[in-house]
């Protein structure tokens, strides 16, 4: 009777009824890693270390995970994988978040459909593979939001990203996905031998988890709002992870929070890495950069060159600080081993920075460096499908072909020649191992304001400058429509 009377007075006064607080989503995570394989190279201890790094990152998430499960070298069949996924995410409802992280070998043949890409499952005795279709089917029975993180070669093929040809099909249209490599690229791990003990991890996972580390003041949080969105995570990786091209779906999702920051800890690592420039041409071959140390540390550097389309790790140029550096701000310069001044060369290399103190070496930076040609025709070309049926989750694939490194401006223009959206602005190209080589970009059909672009006719324009000469290319016109 008292409850009924209280409700009556609330209504008669014209006040809102007390609202039940909105429930926070329950977050669950499953980490699946494989190091021991029957058909591929053993990666021990990289995947196991990836699992440790990822679990540590998720435990730092301020929202709190209700459950974080880890399966290292324990799943060798699709059925065992299915059971692990369903067990980890049982009880999920439509408001919950289920995060699946996979570190393994990825396999893909560029001449075939992207739906034939495979992630290997192996426990060292049994080995099977998961295709995009099978993975989508396994996740489809789980309510709520699916988050998929993949550290594997060719993992971008699972979302139709970084391919020489446009994808036949794009699964996971309702998921949030972050991959270590485009569909045409290998993904790499590092490994070191310290007194007979192997250490190492995947480059992708090392850089991603460092971007969400309290001890580094959460550097992936670009706008410093305490949240790392899917877009911020991808941008962080592309800026600090050079060995392959991180891919995200949806490409421009700046609203979904991948990681929520807690209180920043005292900075004890290597932070504030800043480069004077990462694009070179002519005779300038001095790579200048600065960084800050929050604790005593010994730093090692490695320059790796891309030779004939492959990162030449065996031929890497290595150097290390002779002594442990005390906390403070440092400036350094390394000489790039380029050709003679009068020889026109171009290519890619990357600088990697490791700290050598503590229980294991730690990768802090992997920065892509481009050497532009002094002159020459870049063979610039812009391509996209003839029709883009805009719908939630869909993206228009755009391929800009260029056979040498460059700095790109790529824009979407309407039929009147007005720019409605920049896809790239002064963007340093990177090796994506396409055939022929080029850069993959994606448009979600929105204007620069974020509003939907009107249906109609559009085209792509790409521009770059080589040796003081400007090159441009335009795609054929395409139709933007709504719906199927």
Predicted confidence band at 1 (pLDDT cuts at 50, 70, 90)? Answer: very low
CB within 8 Å of 194: residues ≥ 6 apart: 360, 361
Q: What is the mean pLDDT of residues 327-353?
A: 80
The answer on 389 and 290 residing in a single domain is: no
The answer on 387 and 255 residing in a single domain is: no
How much is the pLDDT for 215? 86
CATH number at residue 359: 2.60.40.2550
Domain count, the chain: 3
Residue 241 covered by a domain: yes
Asked if residues 477 and 415 have their Cβ atoms less than 8 Å apart, the reply is yes
Residue 315 covered by a domain: yes
Residue 2 covered by a domain: no
Of 227-236, 237-246, 359-368, the poorest mean pLDDT is in 359-368
How much is the pLDDT for 9? 25
Residue 405: pLDDT above 80? yes
For 189-219, the pLDDT digits (tens) are 887 766 556 678 899 999 999 999 998 889 9
Q: What is the mean pLDDT of residues 141-166?
A: 95
Tell me which of 226, 260, 294 is where a domain ends. 260
Asked if residues 25 and 89 have their Cβ atoms less than 8 Å apart, the reply is no
The answer on 250 and 310 residing in a single domain is: no
The answer on 411 and 321 residing in a single domain is: no
How much is the pLDDT for 20? 42
Residue 110: pLDDT above 60? yes
How much is the pLDDT for 305? 92
Tell me which DSSP letter residue 446 carries: B
CATH number at residue 396: 2.60.40.4070
How much is the pLDDT for 291? 95
Predicted confidence band at 4 (pLDDT cuts at 50, 70, 90)? Answer: very low
Q: How far apart are CA 454 and CA 459, in angstroms?
A: 14
How much is the pLDDT for 13? 30
Q: What size, in residues, is the chain?
A: 484
The answer on 144 and 72 residing in a single domain is: yes
The answer on 256 and 304 residing in a single domain is: no
How much is the pLDDT for 381? 96
Q: Kindly calculate the radius of gyration of the chain based on its CA atoms and give it in whole angstroms.
A: 24
Of 41-50, 183-192, 202-211, the poorest mean pLDDT is in 183-192
Q: How far apart are CA 309 and CA 197, in angstroms?
A: 31
Residue 267: pLDDT above 80? no
Any alpha helices (H) in 32-99, and if so which ranges?
A: 46-60, 78-88
How much is the pLDDT for 35? 96
Q: What is the mean pLDDT of residues 141-164?
A: 96
For 439-466, the pLDDT digits (tens) are 999 999 999 998 999 999 999 999 999 8
The answer on 433 and 330 residing in a single domain is: no
Predicted confidence band at 117 (pLDDT cuts at 50, 70, 90)? Answer: very high
Q: Per-residue DSSP letters for 127-193? A: EEEE-HHHHHHHHHTS-SEEEEEEESTTGGGGGT-S-SS--S----TTSEEEESS-TT----EEEEE
How much is the pLDDT for 194? 64
The answer on 357 and 301 residing in a single domain is: yes
Q: How far apart are CA 38 and CA 33, in angstroms?
A: 15
Q: How distant, in Å, are the alpha carbons of 310, 350, 367, 371, 405 from that of 339?
A: 19, 17, 21, 11, 16
Q: How far apart are CA 128 and CA 109, in angstroms?
A: 17
Residue 294: pLDDT above 90? no
The answer on 212 and 105 residing in a single domain is: yes
Q: Within 10 A of 127 (CB to CB), how many other CB atoms are there?
A: 18
Domain span at 361: 270-371
How much is the pLDDT for 189? 86
The answer on 181 and 69 residing in a single domain is: yes
Percent of the chain clearing pLDDT 70 (strictly above) = 90
Residue 61 covered by a domain: yes
Residue 434 covered by a domain: yes
CATH number at residue 60: 3.40.50.1460
Backbone angles phi, psi at 260, to 5 degrees: -110, 125
Q: Per-residue DSSP letters for 326-363? A: PSEEEEEEEE-----TTS---EEEEEEEEE--SSS-EE
Residue 22 covered by a domain: no
Residue 228 covered by a domain: yes
Q: Between these two residues, 307 and 177, which has the higher pLDDT value?
A: 177
The answer on 105 and 40 residing in a single domain is: yes
Q: What is the mean pLDDT of residues 364-387?
A: 91
Q: What is the mean pLDDT of residues 34-58?
A: 95
Residue 10: pLDDT above 70? no
Residue 11: pLDDT above 50? no
How much is the pLDDT for 284? 66
The answer on 42 and 113 residing in a single domain is: yes
Tell me which of 215, 240, 260 is where a domain ends. 260
Q: How far apart are CA 188 and CA 239, in angstroms?
A: 16
Tell me which of 313, 336, 371 is where a domain ends. 371
Residue 4 covered by a domain: no
């Amino acid at each position: 009777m008292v409850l009924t009377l209280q409700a009556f007075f609330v209504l008669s006064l014209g006040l809102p009824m007390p609202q039940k607080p909105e429930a926070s989503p329950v977050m669950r995570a499953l980490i699946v890693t494989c190091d021991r394989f029957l058909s591929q190279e053993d990666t021990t201890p990289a995947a196991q270390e990836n699992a440790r790094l990822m679990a540590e990152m998720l435990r730092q998430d301020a929202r709190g995970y209700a459950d974080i499960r880890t399966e290292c070298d324990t799943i060798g069949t699709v059925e065992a994988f299915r059971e692990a996924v369903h067990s980890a995410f049982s009880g999920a409802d439509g408001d919950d978040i289920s995060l699946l992280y996979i570190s393994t070998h990825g396999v893909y043949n560029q001449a075939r459909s992207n739906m034939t890409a495979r992630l290997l499952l192996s426990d060292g005795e049994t080995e099977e593979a998961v295709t995009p279709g099978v993975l989508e089917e396994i996740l489809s029975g789980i309510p709520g939001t699916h988050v998929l993180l993949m550290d594997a070669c060719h993992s971008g093929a699972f979302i139709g990203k970084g391919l020489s040809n446009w994808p036949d099909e794009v699964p996971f249209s309702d998921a949030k996905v972050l991959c270590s490599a485009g569909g045409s690229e290998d993904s790499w791990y590092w490994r070191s031998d310290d007194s007979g003990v192997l250490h190492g991890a995947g480059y992708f996972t090392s850089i991603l988890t460092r971007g969400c580390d309290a001890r580094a003041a959460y550097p992936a949080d670009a706008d410093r709002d305490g949240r790392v969105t899917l877009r911020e995570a991808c941008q962080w990786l592309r800026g600090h992870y050079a060995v392959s091209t991180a891919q995200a779906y949806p490409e421009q999702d700046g609203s979904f929070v991948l990681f929520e920051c807690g209180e920043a800890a005292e900075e004890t690592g290597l932070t504030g890495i800043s480069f004077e420039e990462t694009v070179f041409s002519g005779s300038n071959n001095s790579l200048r950069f600065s960084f800050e140390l929050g604790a005593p540390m010994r730093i090692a550097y490695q320059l790796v060159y891309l030779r004939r389309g492959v990162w030449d790790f065996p031929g890497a140029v290595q150097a290390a600080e002779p002594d442990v550096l005390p906390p403070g701000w440092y400036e350094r310069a390394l000489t790039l081993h380029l050709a003679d001044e009068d020889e026109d060369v171009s290519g890619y290399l990357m600088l990697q920075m490791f700290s050598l103190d503590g229980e294991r070496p730690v990768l802090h930076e992997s920065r892509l460096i481009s050497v532009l040609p002094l002159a020459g025709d870049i063979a610039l070309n812009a391509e996209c499908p003839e029709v883009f049926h805009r719908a939630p989750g869909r993206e228009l694939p755009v391929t800009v072909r260029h056979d040498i490194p460059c700095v790109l401006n790529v824009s979407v223009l309407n039929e009147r020649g007005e720019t409605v959206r920049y896809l790239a602005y002064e963007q340093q190209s990177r090796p994506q191992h396409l055939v022929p080589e080029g850069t993959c970009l994606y448009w979600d059909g929105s204007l620069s304001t974020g509003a939907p672009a009107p249906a109609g006719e559009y085209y792509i324009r790409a521009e770059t400058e080589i040796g003081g000469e400007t090159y441009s290319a335009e795609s054929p016109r395409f139709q933007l429509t709504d719906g199927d």
